[in-house]
Amino acid sequence: QKEVEQNSGPLSVPEGAIASLNCTYSDRGSQSFFWYRQYSGKSPELIMFIYSNGDKEDGRFTAQLNKASQYVSLLIRDSQPSDSATYLCAVNVMNYKLTFGKGTLLTVNP
Amino acid sequence: GAGVSQSPSNKVTEKGKDVELRCDPISGHTALYWYRQRLGQGLEFLIYFQGNSAPDKSGLPSDRFSAERTGESVSTLTIQRTQQEDSAVYLCASSFYRGVNTGELFFGEGSRLTVL
């Protein structure tokens, strides 16, 4: 079983809609969870992190964590064409080794 | 510079040659990672350095791959006898070590390796 799983997409949403990106992980001992955004041809950049169960909001972005279900999600409200990118879920599984999912390609259509 | 610096940005080599990739992390970052990203794929962990601790080499795909780091500064990733399947972007990242919350990685622009 893969350690971090994401739907590869592509996920296509119209401008202004809510984009919902999902991620599951296998290691129950995982402590911290991260969402990275990667534009085509560029390196990943951190956009959100969450350590505790529940929701964490930052501007148009909300990260949601449910450790019992081993599930973490990212919601993007009022999606913009500039949000079009691959979103990588990452999990700290061994206190330092960040394991990434394969990413979900998001396309926001004007 | 303020960010993670990698060189070369692009490397084309012939099968069987050795290549060396360099990473200069952000000053003060004790943790340094190498990842590999094949075209259209996710990030594959290769190796992790933290301060003076023994590196975690568990992600290196074969004994043709090796990496070194001098103290808390520059790291080099060496691939010997390159094969076509080694073609990928090699990403270096650095971070402060925060124990279980370590994960705020700053990535370099990557070194794109093409093996002909």
- 3-state SS, one letter per residue, for A79-97: CCHHHCEEEEEEEECCCCC
Name every chain A residue with its beta carbon within 8 A of the beta carbon of B42.
Answer: 88, 100-103
Output the pLDDT for position B101. Answer: 66
* Residue A52 neighbours by CB under 8 Å, 6+ apart: A65
The two structure tokens encoding residue A6: 């994401």
Amino acid A97: pLDDT: 77
Residue B85 burial (CB count, 10 A) = 10
Tell me, what DSSP letter sits at residue B56? Answer: B
Residue to mutate among A98, A100, A105, with most B CBs inside 10 A, is: A98
Helix residue ranges, H only, A1-110? none
C-alpha neighbours within 13 Å on the C-beta side of residue A95: 5
Q: Do A100 and B99 touch (CB under 8 A)?
A: no
Q: B17 to chain A, minimum CA–CA distance in Å?
A: 26
SS percent in chain A: helix, strand, coil, step 5 = 5, 55, 40
- Say whether B103 and A44 touch across the interface (CB within 8 A): no
Q: How many residues make up chain B in this entry?
A: 116
Contact of B52 with chain A, judged by CB distance below 8 Å, is answered with: no
CA-to-CA separations, B65 to B34, B62, B68, B113, in angstroms, rounded: 11, 6, 11, 14
Within 8 A of A49 by CB-CB distance, chain B residues are 101, 103-104
How distant, in Å, are the alpha carbons of A3, B43, B88 from that of A25?
A: 5, 15, 25
Q: Name chain B contacts of A96, Cβ cutoff 8 Å.
A: 31, 48, 50, 56, 97, 102
User: Would you state the pLDDT for residue B91?
Assistant: 97
Q: Could B33 and A32 be called an inter-chain contact, meaning their C-beta atoms sit closer than 8 Å?
A: no
pLDDT at residue B1 greater than cutoff 70: no
* Sign of the dihedral defined by the CA atoms of residues A3, B101, B37, B68, in that order: negative
- Least Cα separation, residue A103 to chain B (angstroms): 6
With 0-12 / 13-18 / 19 or more C-beta atoms within 10 angstroms meaning exposed / middle / buried, residue B27 is exposed
- Residue A23: name the closest of A105, A88, A93 by CA: A88
For residue B33, the chain A residue with the least C-alpha distance is: A97
In tens, the pLDDT along A35-87 reads: 999 999 899 999 999 999 999 999 999 999 999 999 999 999 999 999 999 99
Considering only residues B29 and B86, tell me which one the structure prediction assigns the higher pLDDT: B86
pLDDT over threshold 70, residue B99: no
Cα distance between residue A15 and residue A37, in whole Å: 18
| pLDDT digit string, tens, across residues A11-37 | 999 999 999 999 999 988 888 999 999
* Cα–Cα distance measured from residue B85 to residue A64, given in angstroms and rounded to the nearest whole number: 37
Distance between CA atoms of A107 and A47, rounded to whole angstroms?
17
